[in-house]
Amino acid sequence: MVGTALFFLFAGFAIMCAISMVYHKNPLYSAISLVGVFISLSCIYVTLAAPFIAAVQILIYAGAIMVLVVFVIMLLNLDDDRPLNRLRYLYAIGGGLGVVLLAQTLFVFYAVLRAPNQPVDPNTSAGKTLTIGQAMYTEYLLPVEIVGVLLMMAIIGSVMLARRLSQPQLELVVEREEELRGEDD
């Protein structure tokens, strides 16, 4: 009973944050609302006894990916745009697709209620952090190491791409900044 109440609480919070994400015109507010969706999904994973997936949800999606999204938003420096009146027909299409999504949700809810309840074996440890760690560093050690090397290569490549200025140009920028700061004093 408590698990069901927590599920509906976190699911409602996820839906509210998702609506807020779509509603806001400022992309930074939308990104913050998306973090709320990720956190509520992580809480749902905890109620489903999947702590590893919950931790990954917070660390990877709400942490790393959203930091990248916020950096891109700030680098793009998006200004407020004028509303497009020529795309008003999309509101009707979106409303129709929303009704279809609601019908699918109600069908899944009905199908889950009609499904027979299977007893849960408490001895199974699928999805636990210990078994995932044991599998990663015994059976799947080579793929984990390959992914680590690929991620390191991606980091090195991104650093090389980010270095746009050569050394003389960088020194000119630093000298100009020092001159501007000297004028303010």
Q: Where are the domains of the chain?
A: 2-117+126-139, 140-185
Q: Which of 149, 139, 133, 120 is nearest to 49 (CA)?
A: 120
Task: Give residue 41's pLDDT.
Answer: 93
Dihedral angle over CA of 43, 44, 49, 52, nearest 10? -60
pLDDT at residue number 60: 87
> Which CATH code of 1.10.1060.10, 1.10.3720.10, 1.20.120.1200, 1.10.357.10 fits the domain covering 2-117+126-139?
1.20.120.1200
Residues in the chain predicted with pLDDT less than 50, given as ranges, are: none
Q: What is the pTM of this model?
A: 0.55
* Separation CA 168–CA 178 (nearest Å): 15
Q: How far apart are CA 22 and CA 155, in angstroms?
A: 32
